[in-house]
Chains A and B, each alone.
Chain A
Amino acid sequence: MSTDSAAVSSPVANRIQHVFVLMLENRSFDHLFALSDIPGIAAATSSSTNTYGGTVYSFGDGAPTQMPADPGHEFTDVLEQLCGAGVQHQPGQAYPPIDNSGFVANFATTKDEGTPAQANEAGEIMRGADIRSQSPALYQLATEFVLCDGWHSSLPGPTWPNRYFVHGASSAGLDHSPTSAEMSEWECVDGFPYPKGSIFDALGKGNYRLYQDDLGSALGRVPQVASIKGISFFDIDDLSHFESDLANGYTARYTFIEPSYGDIVHDTYEGGSSQHPMDGLSGGDQLVARVYNAIRKSPLWENSLLVILYDEHGGFYDSAKPGKAVPPNDGADSSLNTNGFLFDVYGVRVPAIVVSPWVARGYVEHTIYDHSSVLATIERLFNLPALTDRDRHAKDLLSLLTATCRADCPQGIGS
């Protein structure tokens, strides 16, 4: 009998026994989905504008396949993007009022890597992708399962602290890309230390698995998760093993998957699968399909929940104003908090897709989530305590689960 056709109500813990997370890179919700024509999403329109140098830039189509420069997304960049040019954040004070007015100004005047934006390119940051043609697997999952239009990165800052939030509901005060001196200090204690530990500490060895995409440029096969305390580079498996692992007595409750980051040496990120703005969407789209197809074909499918999300917005425009966030309150000292940020506001909105036979088809969820919602879901599902105040107060994904197991989920996606 195929349990695919089962239509029984069961406790949440019986329905979902394996949570998978694939975290990609640097795209805002509006950049990827505002032009998707998916009904019911809260998204930018042509009346969503930024003004820079006396010119009004409207949100519209035509996002370049690869961005000419890496849009800024350090703390001070995001401050300008969210609060406008010239606005200062006072260390230790509340985040300034947000009006999402400074994305163009920031893109026109700053850069992280690559060629600085030219004057006629300033508006590129307001352009959305054609998700249906540029990332068809992602689009298909968004329309076949649940698309979240209220998921925010955990802080208005760059990759590293946002990725730390998904592993520990905190960045231990880090509000910037770490320096060599900071990383050297972490090395003395076996990696980035969370005051209250990570989700991997909470789950314990054997209850989690880590994978990284092994295709594309060899230069980008450096898993960021291996920077944290208690996680070794050698704990990560190549994604080439994923499908066979799932088919052979897979017991891990939680699985975190990283893309390949492509050419990290020259900051082009080309040949990767992270969907970094300078690399494009296709490699990551293939990764999305590969991960979905492996889980879909596996014996675990009917007890699985896959979350596909983005670490932060990568500098791209988004029309949703991030709201107040609960600070982790985990006792982190101030040594990593360069900007005196209170962690009292979320970062820019990012796409998130929840995939499971136990979620509704083509549903748009408006609940406000952040990366700590992954942890809240795991903790409440597997009876673990919260790590910090952030995940303690975070909304989980369990309310998205339906009482019946769907029989209409795509057998496979992508080419």
Chain B
Amino acid sequence: MNRVPTPDPRDNEPLRDGSPLMGYLHILRKAHMELVGRDEAHRRFHLMSTRGHARTYIEELMPLLLKERGRHRLKRHAAHRH
């Protein structure tokens, strides 16, 4: 992971439906579903209610997702070579 901002007083603010942040979180949930299945991805997603939770969610998921992205890249390249 690259640098991550320090705690922010807005971390306690509730997530707002229809906001850009919620849109991005749904994109992450879609990716998480590919990794762990729908039920587990939804269970983890619904633990979020604040910006701080969202930040933790991203910090928690991103290393897993980026690692999987790396695996997909290797597979694509292997297929391309053959």
Residues of A at under 8 Å CB distance from B? 113, 159-160, 176-180, 183-184, 187, 191, 206, 214-219, 221-224, 226-227, 232-238, 241, 249, 261, 263-267, 270-271
Contact = CB atoms under 8 A, between A and B. Distances in A.
Interface residues of B, number: 37
Contact of A183 (B26, B31, B59): B26
A234 B31 contact: yes
A233 B65 contact: yes
Interface in B3-56: 3-5, 8, 10, 17-24, 26-31, 33-34, 51, 54-55
Given A226-B27, A233-B34, A265-B55, A180 B17 contact: yes
Contacts of A241: 73
A235 B73 CA distance: 8
B23 A234 contact: no
Contacts of B3: 217-218, 271
Contact of B31 (A184, A226, A237, A264): A226
The residue among B2, B5, B23, B28 with the most chain A CB atoms within 10 A of its own CB is B23
Given A217-B5, A226-B31, A234-B68, A184 B26 contact: yes
A116 B37 CA distance: 41
8 contacts: A178-B23, A217-B5, A219-B5, A233-B31, A238-B69, A265-B5, A266-B10, A271-B3
A270 B4 CA distance: 11
Given A187-B29, A233-B34, A160 B23 contact: yes
Nearest to B19: A177
Contacts of A224: 23-24, 27
Nearest to A237: B73
A265 B23 contact: no
